[in-house]
C-alpha cells in the first residue's frame, strides 16, 4: 500500500474563509480532532501575522499530539536582508514547531510586480530562507505559490524556483494552484514533469476550488506522483475554498488503496461534525461520504433492493466512514420503506404486522395535515414509538406564554417567554429573553429542563426553516416548521405544523428535546445490558 501524507490547513487557509474566526481554544480543539483522526501535518497559522496566532503557538507547545506535526507558515525573507535579519523569518522559526511551511513566488510576474525583485534575487530569497530553516533543524515544506500559472507563463523559471528550494534542502516541493483556476489534465501533466525532475524530493499539491476542481486536481496530482496532499478538512477557505480533505482522503484510501491517515476512517463523519461545529458551519446534506443525505434513499425500488442486498445502491459501506444508511419517508412510501425505517426500534415486525399498517395510517393522517417526515427522521421515530406504545414522555408542558415588544429597549432581545413544565411529580418554571419569540421560548425550555437533564446544555439548534402550506390563506395559513439540532456529535431534525407559527415551532422544539432524551436513555440501557 502506497503511503501519502496529508497536511491540513484549516487553521491557516481555512481561517481566511469569509465568516470564519477561530479563538485560541477553537484552534486547540481542531488540532486535537485532526490529530485523533490521524492527520500527518497541521498547518497552524502564521506566527507573525496577529497576536491570536502568537498566543496559539505558545499554548500549542503544551499539546501532546500522537500523530500530527504542527507546522508554522511564513514567507521567504524580504529583499535586501538576510533571513537572520528578517523578523518574520525569525518568528516563523521561533514558533517551536518541528516543521515549517515557507512560501515563495514561483511566477516571475509576481516576483517583479509584487515583490519588486529581480528573477535572480527571488531565487536567492527562496534558497537562503529554506537553507536557514534547515540549519535550525526544521523540516521544510516549500510552497511554490502560483506554480501552475507561473509554469504556464515561463516554465523554465517556475522550475528554477523549485531548483532553488531543492538546493536549500527543502523536504517537500509543494505545487500550488493558488488562483484555483487550473484544470485537472494540466495539473496531472505538470506534476508529472516535476516528479520526474526531482525524484529524490517529495512532491506536494495545494489546490483551491475556484473551478470546482480542487478534489479532482489533488487526485490527479497524486496519480502523477505527488505524495503530499494539502487542503482543509471540510473544504472551506478563501474565496471558493480549498481542496476538501474529508472527500479526498476516503477517495484515495477506499477507492485507490492508498494509506492516507494513521487513524481509522470510521471516525471521518464524527471529525467532520466536530470541525463544522467549532467553525459554526452546517455540513451540507449532500456532502460526499459524511453528509446526512450521502446514503439517503427515497426511491421505493432502491429501498426494496437495499433491504435484500445491502450496498446495491451505495458505492461504499456507510459504516466505513462513520455514516449510516437512511431511508426517507414520503407520500409514496410503501410498507418496505416503513419496515426498513422501524427495524432498529422493532426488529420483530414484518410487512404483514398490524403495527406497520397502523403506523402507515398515522403517517398518512399527519402528512394530510401538512407534516413531512422525509427530512425529519427524529419526529418520525417519535411517531413510531408512540404507535408501538414505546414512548415515555420526559416532560409535560403546563403552559407557555410569549410576548414581543416593538420598539424594544434591548434591540437584540425583542421578545420574552415564560414556561412551566412538569417532570414526574416536580414542576419547574423558567423565563427568558430572546431575539424573537421562538428564540425566547427555546431558551426558556432549555433553562427549565436543564434542572432535570444537564446533558441538554450541549444541545443547540443549527437550522430553522418555515414553509407556508396554504398560500391562498395568506397570514392565516398553516405553516410547517423544521428544526435541525445537534449535540456536537449527532444531528437530528424535527417538524411541527400549525396555523400558529409559535405553536408549530413549539411542537418541533419539544420533539427535538424529547428525541435527544429518548436516544440518551436507549444508549444508557444498551450499556447496562
pLDDT tens, residue by residue, 27-76: 999 999 999 999 999 999 898 877 778 888 888 888 899 999 999 999 99
pLDDT tens, residue by residue, 323-371: 988 777 655 556 667 777 777 777 788 777 888 888 888 887 888 888 8
CA distance 57 to 459: 31
- Residue extents of the structural domains in the chain: 5-263, 296-387, 396-528
Q: CB pairs under 8 A, 24+ apart, for 445-453?
A: 445/419, 445/421, 445/509, 445/510, 445/513, 446/513, 448/419, 448/420, 448/421, 449/395, 449/421, 449/423, 449/513, 452/395, 452/423, 452/426, 452/428, 453/394, 453/517
pLDDT tens, residue by residue, 118-128: 999 999 999 99
Please confirm whether the linkage preceding 407 is cis (ω < 30° from 0): yes
3-class DSSP assignment, residue 241: coil
3-class DSSP assignment, residue 188: helix
3-class DSSP assignment, residue 291: coil
Per the DSSP assignment, residues forming a β-bridge with 75 are 103
Beta strands in 381-525 (DSSP E): 396-404, 415-423, 426-434, 460-468, 479-486, 491-498
Determine the CATH number of domain 5-263: 3.20.20.70
Residues 6 or more apart whose Cβ sits within 8 Å of residue 392: 518
Residues 6 or more apart whose Cβ sits within 8 Å of residue 506: 397, 400, 441, 496
Can you name the CATH fold of 396-528? Double Stranded RNA Binding Domain (3.30.160)
Task: Supply 245's cell numbers.
Answer: 480533505
Q: CB pairs under 8 A, 24+ apart, for 149-157?
A: 149/107, 149/177, 149/178, 149/179, 149/181, 149/182, 150/105, 150/106, 150/107, 150/108, 150/109, 150/110, 151/106, 151/190, 152/186, 153/107, 153/108, 153/109, 154/107, 154/108, 157/106, 157/108, 157/119
Neighbours of 23 (CB within 10 A): 12
Supply the pLDDT for residue 522. 66
Sheet holding 426-434, edge to edge: 396-404, 415-423, 426-434
Supply the pLDDT for residue 460. 85
CA distance 389 to 383: 10
Task: Supply 280's cell numbers.
Answer: 459554526
3-class DSSP assignment, residue 283: coil
117 neighbors 110 (Cβ within 8 angstroms)? no
Q: How big, in percent rounded to 5, are the helix, strand and coil portions of the chain?
A: 45, 20, 35
CA distance 275 to 269: 10
Neighbours of 233 (CB within 10 A): 29
Determine the CATH number of domain 296-387: 1.10.238
Write the DSSP assignment of 131-165 as a string of letters.
HHHHHTT-EEEEEEETHHHHHHH-HHHHHHHHHHH
CA distance 316 to 482: 30
3-class DSSP assignment, residue 447: helix
| Structural element, H or E, at residue 231 | strand 228-231
Among the listed residues 51, 49, 69, the one whose alpha carbon sits nearest the alpha carbon of residue 60: 69
104-106-110 Cα angle (round to 5): 90
3-class DSSP assignment, residue 92: helix
173 neighbors 160 (Cβ within 8 angstroms)? no
Supply the pLDDT for residue 409. 67
Low-confidence ranges of the chain (pLDDT < 50): 526
175 neighbors 144 (Cβ within 8 angstroms)? yes
CA distance 375 to 95: 47
Q: Please, what's the b/e burial string for 400-424 (b: 16 or more CB within 10 A of its CB; e: otherwise)?
A: bebeeeeeeeeeebbbbbbbbbebe
Q: How many CA atoms lie within 13 A of 37 on its CB side?
A: 32
Amino acid at each position: 500500500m502506497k503511503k501519502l501524507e496529508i497536511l491540513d490547513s484549516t487553521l491557516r487557509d481555512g481561517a481566511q474563509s469569509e465568516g470564519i474566526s477561530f479563538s485560541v481554544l477553537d484552534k486547540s480543539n481542531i488540532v486535537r480532532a485532526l490529530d485523533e483522526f490521524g492527520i500527518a501535518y497541521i498547518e497552524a497559522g502564521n506566527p507573525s501575522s496577529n497576536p491570536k496566532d502568537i498566543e496559539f503557538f505558545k499554548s500549542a507547545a503544551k499539546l501532546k499530539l500522537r500523530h500530527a506535526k504542527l507546522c508554522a507558515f511564513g514567507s521567504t525573507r524580504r529583499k535586501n536582508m538576510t533571513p537572520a535579519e528578517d523578523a518574520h523569518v525569525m518568528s516563523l522559526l521561533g514558533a517551536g514547531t518541528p516543521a515549517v511551511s515557507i512560501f515563495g513566488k514561483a511566477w516571475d510576474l509576481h516576483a517583479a510586480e509584487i515583490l519588486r525583485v529581480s528573477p535572480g534575487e527571488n531565487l536567492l530569497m527562496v534558497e537562503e530562507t529554506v537553507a536557514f530553516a534547515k540549519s535550525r533543524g526544521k523540516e521544510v515544506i516549500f510552497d511554490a505559490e502560483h506554480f501552475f500559472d507561473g509554469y504556464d507563463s515561463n516554465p523554465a523559471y517556475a522550475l528554477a524556483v523549485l531548483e532553488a528550494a531543492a538546493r536549500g534542502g527543502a523536504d517537500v516541493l509543494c505545487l500550488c494552484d493558488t488562483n484555483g483556476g487550473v484544470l485537472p489534465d494540466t495539473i496531472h501533466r505538470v506534476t508529472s514533469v516535476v516528479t520526474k525532475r526531482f525524484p529524490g524530493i517529495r512532491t506536494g499539491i495545494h489546490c483551491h476550488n475556484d473551478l470546482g476542481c480542487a478534489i479532482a486536481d489533488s487526485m490527479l496530482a497524486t496519480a502523477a506522483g505527488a505524495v503530499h496532499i494539502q487542503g482543509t478538512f471540510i473544504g472551506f477557505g478563501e474565496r471558493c475554498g480549498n481542496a476538501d480533505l474529508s472527500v479526498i482522503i476516503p477517495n484515495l484510501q477506499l477507492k485507490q488503496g492508498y494509506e492516507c491517515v494513521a487513524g481509522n476512517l470510521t471516525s471521518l463523519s464524527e471529525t467532520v461534525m466536530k470541525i463544522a461545529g467549532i467553525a459554526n458551519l452546517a455540513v451540507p446534506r449532500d456532502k460526499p461520504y459524511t453528509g446526512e443525505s450521502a446514503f439517503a434513499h427515497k426511491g421505493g425500488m432502491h429501498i426494496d433492493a437495499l433491504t435484500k442486498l445491502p450496498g446495491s445502491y451505495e458505492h461504499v459501506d456507510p459504516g466505513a466512514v462513520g455514516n449510516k444508511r437512511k431511508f426517507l419517508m414520503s407520500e409514496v412510501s410503501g410498507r418496505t420503506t416503513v419496515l426498513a425505517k422501524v427495524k432498529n426500534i422493532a426488529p420483530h415486525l414484518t410487512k404483514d404486522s398490524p403495527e406497520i399498517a397502523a403506523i402507515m395510517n398515522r403517517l398518512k393522517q399527519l402528512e394530510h395535515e401538512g407534516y413531512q417526515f422525509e427530512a425529519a427522521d427524529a419526529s418520525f421515530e417519535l411517531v413510531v414509538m408512540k404507535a408501538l406504545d414505546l414512548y415515555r414522555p420526559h416532560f409535560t408542558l403546563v403552559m407557555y406564554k410569549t410576548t414581543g415588544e416593538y420598539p424594544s429597549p434591548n434591540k437584540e432581545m425583542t421578545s420574552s417567554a415564560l414556561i412551566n413544565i412538569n417532570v414526574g411529580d416536580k414542576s419547574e418554571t423558567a423565563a427568558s429573553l430572546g431575539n424573537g419569540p421562538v428564540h425566547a421560548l427555546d431558551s426558556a425550555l432549555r433553562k427549565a429542563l436543564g434542572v432535570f437533564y444537564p446533558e441538554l446544555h450541549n444541545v443547540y439548534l443549527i437550522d430553522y426553516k418555515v414553509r407556508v402550506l396554504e398560500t391562498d390563506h395568506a397570514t392565516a395559513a398553516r405553516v410547517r416548521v423544521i428544526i435541525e439540532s445537534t449535540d456536537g456529535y449527532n444531528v437530528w431534525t424535527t417538524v411541527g405544523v400549525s396555523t400558529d407559527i409559535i405553536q408549530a415551532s413549539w411542537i418541533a422544539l419539544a420533539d427535538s428535546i424529547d428525541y435527544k432524551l429518548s436516544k440518551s436513555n436507549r444508549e444508557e440501557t444498551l450499556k447496562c445490558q
